[in-house]
Chain A
Amino acid sequence: AQSVTQLDSQVPVFEEAPVELRCNYSSSVSVYLFWYVQYPNQGLQLLLKYLSGSTLVKGINGFEAEFNKSQTSFHLRKPSVHISDTAEYFCAVTEGGAGSYQLTFGKGTKLSVIP
């Protein structure tokens, strides 16, 4: 069975500072990895995804993440955050293979950008 751990439930950071949101996963097979962002009372929006190929993945809004298979991690980074990045971020994993793709989510990390 797959699982996702987001080590930090809340991350405060000053505007224009860099940020890293951590995500570790466990799975016995190959996986696809995702980061989603959720603004208050809204659905989830995909930031970026890793399916295969380059381990450094670039997404929207200046975010990027690096897949590290040996450490089973997929940490999200941004070199300079803005107030508008304040939101909750979810890491998710699904296992490769045919059929329905059921995402397993971490519990989320609330990013608060301080002016």
Chain B
Amino acid sequence: SQTIHQWPATLVQPVGSPLSLECTVEGTSNPNLYWYRQAAGRGLQLLFYSVGIGQISSEVPQNLSASRPQDRQFILSSKKLLLSDSGFYLCAWTPLDGVEAFFGQGTRLTVV
């Protein structure tokens, strides 16, 4: 069966520090991968998605970047965090030929 792992679960980082959140999917090949951010009262916002290794599409301009170095690995990064980067970050995947999205457990990021 397929599983998705996302870590860390919680993170407290000072303003200006770097960020690296990792997500891996097991039990499937060629998944579409996604990073969402959930801010209080604002629902979920799609940040990045990827349809293959090295292929990244950005939905909103921001202080973050994403990379996909391997087929089932998706990384969210920042060189210098801002206070506004605080939120709950969710990784998700959809099958190559499917529409249902499966989500990781999320990372609670607090920038102080």
Chain A interface residues toward B at CB < 8 A: 9, 32, 34, 36, 41-46, 49, 51, 90, 94, 99-108
Contact = CB atoms under 8 A, between A and B. Distances in A.
Interface in B76-112: 88, 90, 92, 94, 98-106, 108
Given A49-B100, A51-B99, A101 B90 contact: no
Contacts of A106: 43
Contacts of B41: 9, 107
Contacts of A44: 44, 90, 92, 101, 103
Given A43-B90, A43-B106, A49-B100, A102 B49 contact: yes
B69 to A, nearest CB: 19
Interface in B28-72: 32, 34, 36, 41-44, 46, 49, 51, 57, 59
Would you list the 3 A-B pairs with minimal beta carbon distance, nearest first?
Answer: A107-B43, A43-B103, A105-B44
Nearest to B9: A41
A101 B46 contact: no
A90 B44 contact: yes
Contacts of B100: 34, 46, 49
Given A34-B100, A42-B106, A45-B103, 5 more contacts: A43-B105, A101-B98, A103-B44, A103-B46, A106-B43
B106 A107 contact: no
A94 B44 CA distance: 14
A100 to B, nearest CB: 5
Contacts of B98: 101
